[in-house]
Amino acid sequence: MSIGLSIFEIFIIVFVVLAIVTLIMGVKVVPQGMEYTIERFGRYTRTLSPGLNIITPWIDRIGAKMNMMETVLDVPSQEVITKDNALLQVDGVVFHQVLDAAKAAYEVNDLQRALLNLTMTNIRTVMGSMDLDELLSKRDRINYQLLKVVDDATAAWGLKVTRIEIKDITPPQDLVESMGRQMKAERDKRATVLVAEGDRQAEILRAEGEKQGAILAAEGRREAAFKDAEAREREAEAEAKATQMVSESISSGNIQAINYFVAQRYIEALGKFADSPNQKMFFMPVDAAGIMGAIGGIAELVRESAAGRGGGGVGGSGGGSGGGSGGSGGDTGSPWRRGPSDEG
C-alpha cells in the first residue's frame, strides 16, 4: 500500500509539472515591434502579432522572430569605376522595414546579407554608368535610382526599402589634386570674365554719361542762345522805340532830343573806352565843346520838362529854347573851345 501511494504521488507530481510546462509552451507574449512565425511540424501556419498569444503546445513552435521596425543597414566602402574610368571609394546606408514576416523569414535566407549584397551591386551598376562630374553633382539622382531598383527587387521578400543614401564618395588623391587645379583654373577664368564684363559695363556707362553730358551741354547752349537772342531782340526793340521817340520829338520841333541822343551815344563810347583793361592816353577832340554843348542841351531839356510839368505853358517852352540856344552859343565861345588851341 505504501508503495502504491508513492507511485501515485509521483504521477501527480509529473502531471503537475507537465501541466505547467504545457501552459508555458502554449502561452506566448510577443513584444511591440516584433512578429513571430508559428510552425506546426515544421510547416508555417500563422504569424503572432504583438501581445498575448495562445498556441498549441507540443505541436506548434516559434519559427522566426522578425523585427518589424525600420532598420538601418550600413553599406561598407567599396571601389567603383565610373564611366570615364575614375576609381572611387563609395559607402552608404540603407533604411528598410519588414512588412511581411512570413516572406522575410521563408522567401530569402539571411535577409540582411542578401539586402547588403544587392545594394552594393546596384551601387556599382548605377554609379558606373555615370561620369565623375555627374556623379559628384547628382547624388539625388543616384539615390533615387538605387532606391527604385533595390525596392523592386526586395518586394518579393516582404521588405520595404524606404531610403538609400550615399554617404561618402572619395576619389584618389591625385584625382583630388587635379580637380583642385581644374576648379582653380575655372574660378580664375570666371574672375577674368567678370572683370572684363565689369570694365565693359563701366565703359558703356562712362560713354552714356559723356553722351548725356554732351546732350545737356548742347541743350544749355541752345537755351542760352535763345535767351541771348531774346535779350538782343528786346534791346533792339528798346533801341527802335527810343529812336522813334527821338524822331517824333525832332518832328515836333524839339531839337534838344537829337542832342540828348548824340550825347548819350558819345558818353557810352567814352565809358567803354575807359573801362577797357589796357593802358591808354586819352586826347579830347577839337570839337569836344560841341559835345559839352550837347550835354548842356540835355540839362536844358530836363529843365524844360520840369517847367512843362509845372505849368509853364508854351511861353515857358520858348524861353527855355532861347536859353538853350544861348547856352549853346555861349558854350561855343567858352574856355572848352579855346583850351586846345592855346595849347597848340
Classify residue 171 by its DSSP letter: -
Distance CA 139, CA 91 (A): 13
- The yes-or-no verdict on residue 322 having pLDDT over 60 is no
Tell me what pLDDT residue 95 has.
96
Q: How far apart are CA 251 and CA 260, in angstroms?
A: 15
Task: Collapse the DSSP code of 116 into the 3-class scheme (helix H, G, I; strand E, B; otherwise coil) and give the result.
Answer: helix
- CA atoms of 99 and 158, how far apart (whole Å): 5
Of residues 64 and 304, the one with the higher pLDDT is 64
Residue count (the chain):
344
C-alpha cell at 243: 529812336
Q: What is the pLDDT of residue 259?
A: 66
* pLDDT value at residue 274: 67
d(CA 142, CA 46): 39
Residue with cell 572619395: 170
Burial class (CB in 10 A: 0-12, 13-18, 19+), 327: middle
| pLDDT number for residue 280 | 58
pLDDT tens per residue, range 77-89: 999 999 888 889 9
Q: What is the mean pLDDT of residues 155-175?
A: 90
> What mean pLDDT is predicted for residues 190-196?
91
**Residue 58: what residue type?**
W
pLDDT value for 181:
85
Q: How far is CA 29 from the centre of its chain?
A: 66
Q: What pLDDT does residue 134 have? A: 87
Report d(CA 40, CA 57) in Å as an integer.
10
CB count within 10 Å of CB 30 equals 17
Reported as a single tens digit per residue, the pLDDT across 284-315 is 554 555 555 555 655 665 566 566 555 544 33
**Lowest-pLDDT choice from 63-72, 213-222, 253-262:** 253-262
Distances (CA, A) of 61 to 23, 25, 43, 55: 13, 8, 10, 8
Say which range, 26-30, 128-132, 191-195, 255-259, has the weakest mean pLDDT: 255-259
d(CA 260, CA 82): 110
pLDDT at residue 156, as a whole number:
92
Q: What was the pLDDT predicted at 122? A: 94
Tell me: the pLDDT tens digits for 224-273?
Answer: 888 888 888 888 888 788 777 777 776 776 666 666 666 767 677 766 66
Q: Indicate yes or no: pTM above 0.85.
A: no
